[in-house]
Amino acid sequence: MRIPLLLVPTVVLSVAIILSPSSARTSAQSIARLTAPYETGDPGQRLYVRQGCYQCHGLAGQGSILSGPPLSASRLDDTSFRRYVRNPKGAMPPYTSWALPDDDLGQIERFVRLLQAGRPYTAVPALAKVAASGARPNTANTVADGEALYRRNCAVCHGAAREGGIAPNLIKEGKNRDASAIAALILDPPEGMPSLTPDPLSKAETDAVARFVATPS
Amino acid sequence: MKDAKHLGRRSFIKASVLAGVAAPAVPVFAQGQGEPAPRKVAPPGTAAAAAENGALPLVDDEPQLVKRPGSDFMVDLLKATDTRYVAAMAGATFRGLHESIVNYGGNRAPELIVCVHEEISAGIAHGYAKVANQPMACLVHSTVGLLHASMAIYNAWCDRAPMMVIAGNSLDATKRRPGVEWVHSAQDLGAFVREYVKYDDTPVSLEHYAESYMRAHELSMTPPYEPVMIVADSELQEEDVGEGARLKVPARAPVSPPAAAPEAIERAAGILLAASAPLIVADRAARSQRGVDLIVELATLLNAPVIDRAGRLNMPTTHYLCQTSLQNTLVRQADAILGLELTDLWGTINAVPDVIGRPSRRIANGDAKVIGISANYGYVRSVVQDAQRYFAADLAIDADAEASLPSLIAAVHRQASPEQLATIGARTEKLKAAYTTMRADDASAAAIGWDASPISTARLSMEIWEQISGLDWGLVSNHAFVSSWPQRLWDFTKYHQYIGGEGGYGVGYGAPAAVGAALAHRDAGRIAVAIQCDGDLMMLPGALWTAAHHRLPLLMVMHNNRSWHQETMHLKRMAGRRDRDPYSWAIGTMMTDPEIDFAQIARGMGVHAEGPISKPDELVGALQRALEVVKSGRPALLDTLTQMR
């Protein structure tokens, strides 16, 4: 008689486990073995690794042209960051609150916020040599200058060719707004768009970016 | 009248192929049916030996010798085509040719490159051809050897690389010994690879072999370059051709590559000159340094930026018009796009993002005129889908790009008005500024994670570059797997400095192709450098042994991210879209638990090795030590633990 009595709670517990979403995460234990070489003691980093974020964005948040954008320079605010992770665009898979509970997402976000943007390339002699190849012409306040600033500060969300991504397509933005209106929008960004002034964009640089965005592509 | 039983071996082969395999008038199998089976195997001894081999010879009998084997003539053909190397793993169906290469040919031009797997043999031939610009022979053992080699042949076919595959076989069924020789023979060996070789033949005489061999060589080296295969029948190899036989090596007749028709060239020049933002996209366009020089000349003449898709090295990265990193913007801005030997013209103009439903969309300007020049327009296979999606170019030219560029350049010169030349010249400053900014942006991106451990692929690439930039070098691995950092950061100025990638993206290309390329670089007095993917090396680690055995100056630096990285992302994408286990992506995609010790594997193959190295500061010393080994004419491997891409 004892054996059946012991079985009852076991069966009930098993049913409960089967019905629970967390029970589907049967591989949590095995992944710890597989990803151990990449993990540090930081709980946010550990989640960043085990959720596979580093596969596309790199352990240093450096990203790759082949997998995903860098995260170390992300200027998304908390709301936009979470909204994007839950419902991303492009090839990135969605992370539901079942797959990535809010607390875990918060830990990952904290880890991402701590990622270093990297030292300036000018501080790395080998990279400084690469950048110095070819004399740089005087292009201050030209469209080309604005394009360079755009690429460094805006392309991660709006796309390298202004084709859109996390943020809207800007290819035809010049038809909707002139340069001064675009500059005003950068200075007073709408919800979800990070503030880019006065750092990293000065007023003059903001104007250069705005002129570039207003130029037909 | 001769019956089949009394035909010579060569005559039998000829008769079999020409008339179908003729059944003997009296089936041998049927003759033996009435005999009682032996009760047990007879013990070995004099009587048994005599029964099997005939009576013991008398002392004054002449030994039976083959003084002029057919395979010697096959070596003559290899020499006549300046074939310097034959990659092979030993196999019985080409034992005659193997022996002739070593003894008759003196194992010099061609020299046997000893391999431990036929896929390595073909992979070596693939890499060699892209540096030496001539095909190497790859000798395979009938069915099993050819099947092993088939993956690498497929890669070479997709990559438009020349290769002479010579496959041993035993067509005459009556000469096969029971058992193994039957399963190592095929009635139509070419069928195994026919969809991805340009030509194959099964010659039934040495004269036939000679002509087919020369035809195959010509076809392999006529754009589009491709692998070809000749079956070397074992009977043809081993049979004595006789003292009086007159075998002639046919003359070589290199084929002039197909150039574009004049009217098409005139139209192309007109479109490019009328454009305000012309763009050149090149993939396997250059076949030599001359090809690179011509692309530079055309680009400079038009002031057109070039996107180098890197099937080969097409454009020096030091030139201000080499703007590959700006490709997303350039394709959208261009109003005329010239595609040169593109693997995928449709995919240059359009995109299919990997999202649910896979919608396709045009990314190029809707009004942009598109010109395609490619020898592939006239060379498409049905089974293999490498033709990519159909694209209706405004001007499609079936011709070899390198061969067509001189006339296109001349046409642009001829048609350009002074006003057009002035407009073109006015683009220079903006293009130079864009190039400078691009280089700075690439350098800036490379700085992120510079001090990270595992080592970032940008750091890895730049530390290698710092050590080799003063040497005569060639990168012999696909740089795409390390985020194209070498293309973005190194100074590539010569055609031989980069050879593209797999072609068919078949994993296992990297290591053997690097070995083959290193062989060609060695002959030119250069060192070869490979950034070697871990998953690729696990396919065919035996390539390291060949590198050590032949003393090849190859620096192999591991891109050891301990995973099949592309697949990790695919698995994550699938589980995410289905809202399933978020931790399951690592199962089946990671090479950890246990971690692979590549340095130990390399040392076991006789290759100098260090590692694993996970700290970037330790790279410089290890690279310098490895390079000393390489400069002394031996291979070296550094196992470096890296970031994913």
The pLDDT tens digits for B477-524 are 999 999 999 999 999 999 999 999 999 999 999 999 999 999 999 999
**DSSP-derived 3-state class of residue B390:** coil
Provide the ipTM: 0.85
Task: Assess whether pLDDT exceeds 70 at residue B34.
Answer: no
- Grouping H, G, I as helix, E, B as strand and the rest as coil, residue B441 is helix
What is the pLDDT of chain B when averaged over all its residues?
A: 92
pLDDT value, residue B36: 45
User: H helices then E strands: how many in chain B?
Assistant: 25, 18
Question: Could you tell me if A115 and A39 lie in one domain?
Answer: yes
The verdict on a CB contact (< 8 Å) between A94 and B585 is: no
Is residue A125 in a domain?
no
- B chain contacts of residue A105, beta-carbon cutoff 8 Å: none
- Contact at CB, B483 and A64, closer than 8 angstroms: yes
Indicate the residue among A84, A119, A154 that finishes a domain.
A119
What is the per-residue pLDDT across B228-255, written as a single tens digit (0 to 9) for each?
999 999 999 999 998 888 899 999 999 9
- Quickly state the pLDDT bin for A11 (edges 50, 70, 90): very low
What number is the average pLDDT over the span B219-227?
98
Residues in B touching A71 (Cβ below 8 Å): none
**B453, A121 in Cβ contact below 8 A?**
no
Tell me the average pLDDT across B202-226: 98
Say yes or no: A137 contacts chain B, CB-CB below 8 A: yes
Query: Does the pLDDT of residue B101 top 80, yes or no?
Result: yes
pLDDT per residue as tens digits for the range B71-82: 999 999 999 999
Answer yes or no: do A82 and A147 share one domain: no
Residues A88 and A158 in one domain: no
Q: What is the CATH number of the domain that holds A68?
A: 1.10.760.10
**pLDDT over 50 at B453, yes or no:** yes
Query: How many angstroms separate the CA atoms of A118 and B18, rounded?
Result: 72
Residues A149 and A200 in one domain: yes
Question: Model confidence at A141, in pLDDT bands (50, 70, 90)?
Answer: very low
CA distance B344 to B389: 8
- State what percent of residues in chain B have pLDDT above 90: 89
Q: Looking at the predicted structure, is the pLDDT value of residue B555 above 50?
A: yes
Same domain, A41 and A107: yes
**What is the domain range of residue A73?**
35-119
Contacts of B442 in chain A (CB under 8 A): 130
Is there a domain that residue A13 lies in?
no
- The larger pLDDT score, comparing residue B173 to residue B54, is at B173
Question: What's the whole-number mean pLDDT along residues A37-46?
Answer: 94
- Tell whether A158 and A89 lie within a shared domain: no
Residue A59 lies in a domain: yes
Using a CB-CB distance cutoff of 8 angstroms, which residues of chain B are in contact with residue A208?
A: none
The minimum CA-CA distance between B154 and chain A, rounded to whole Å, is 25
pLDDT band at A54 (very low <50, low <70, confident <90, very high): very high
Q: What is the pLDDT of residue B312?
A: 98
Q: How far apart are CA A105 and CA A77, in angstroms?
A: 14
Q: CA-to-CA distance for B6 and A205, rounded, in angstroms?
A: 93
Closest CB to B450 among A27, A100, A124: A124
pLDDT above 50 for B21: no
CATH of domain B70-238: 3.40.50.970
Which range (A20-34, B172-186, B381-395) has the least confidence?
A: A20-34
Q: Does domain B448-560+596-640 have CATH number 3.40.50.970?
A: yes
Provide the token pair at A44.
């946010």
Token pair, residue A156, equals: 């991660």
Q: CB–CB of A34 and B444 under 8 A?
A: no
Higher pLDDT, B536 or A167: B536
Cβ distance of B332 and A171 shorter than 8 Å: yes
pTM: 0.88
pLDDT for res A28:
66
Residue in A27, A133, A151 closest to B583 by CB:
A27
Measured in degrees and rounded to the nearest 5, phi and psi for residue B590 equal -110, 145
pLDDT the model gives residue B621: 98
Residue A204 has what pLDDT?
A: 85
Asked if the structure places residue A22 within a domain, the reply is no
**Chain B contact set for A118 (CB, 8 A):** 444, 447-450
Write down the pLDDT at residue B56: 59
Report the domain count for chain A.
Answer: 2
Contacts of A193 (CB under 8 A, 6+ apart): A80, A157, A167
Task: Determine phi and psi for B235, rounding to 5 degrees.
Answer: -70, -40
| Residues A99, A168 within the same domain | no
Average pLDDT over every residue of A90-119: 94
Q: Output the pLDDT for position B61.
A: 80
pLDDT, position A16: 41
| Site from B432, B439, B459, B563 to mutate, A interface, most A CB atoms within 10 angstroms | B439
The alpha-carbon gap from B364 to the nearest alpha carbon of chain A, in Å, equals 11
CB contact under 8 A, B592 and A34: yes
**Any B CB within 8 A of A126 CB:** yes
B292 versus B5: the higher-pLDDT residue is B292
CB contact under 8 Å between A58 and B593, yes or no, is: no
A157-199: pLDDT as tens digits:
888 788 887 788 888 888 888 888 888 888 888 877 878 888 7
Per-residue pLDDT, averaged over A112-140, amounts to 79
| H-helix segments, A20-98 | 28-35, 43-50, 53-57, 78-86
Look at A54 and B644 and tell me if their CB atoms are within 8 Å. Answer: yes
- CB contact under 8 Å between B484 and A65, yes or no, is yes
Contacts of A60 in chain B (CB under 8 A): 448-449, 452, 456, 643
Mark whether A110 and A148 lie in a shared domain. no
Residue of B nearest to A129 (CA): B443
Of A70, A118, A159, the CB nearest to B450: A118
Looking at the domain assignment, is residue A12 inside a domain?
A: no
Across-strand partners of B40?
none
Chain B residue closest in CA terms to A117: B448
Domains B70-238 and B448-560+596-640 share a fold: yes
Question: In this predicted structure, what is the pLDDT of residue B43?
Answer: 54
Average pLDDT of span A71-76: 82
pLDDT band at B159 (very low <50, low <70, confident <90, very high): very high
Give the right CATH number for B262-379+388-438 from 3.40.50.1220, 3.40.50.2000, 3.30.70.580, 3.40.50.300. Answer: 3.40.50.1220
Nearest chain B residue to A134 by CA: give it: B436
| Contact: B644, A99; criterion CB under 8 Å | no
Closest Cα in chain A, distance from residue B437 (Å): 6
Question: Which residue in B has a C-alpha nearest to residue A85's C-alpha?
Answer: B576
Q: Do B577 and A27 touch (CB under 8 A)?
A: no
pLDDT tier at A145 (50, 70, 90 boundaries)? confident
**Same domain as A61, residue A106:** yes
* Mean pLDDT along residues B339-347: 97
Q: Do B447 and A51 touch (CB under 8 A)?
A: no
Whether chain B has a CB inside 8 Å of the CB on A114: the answer is no
Contacts of B333 in chain A (CB under 8 A): 161, 217
| pLDDT for res A89 | 86
Considering A73, A89, A119, which residue would you say is the last residue of a domain?
A: A119
Mean per-residue pLDDT for B363-375?
97
Six-digit token string for A17: 């486990």
What pLDDT shows up at residue B1?
37
Pick the more confident residue, B108 or B15: B108
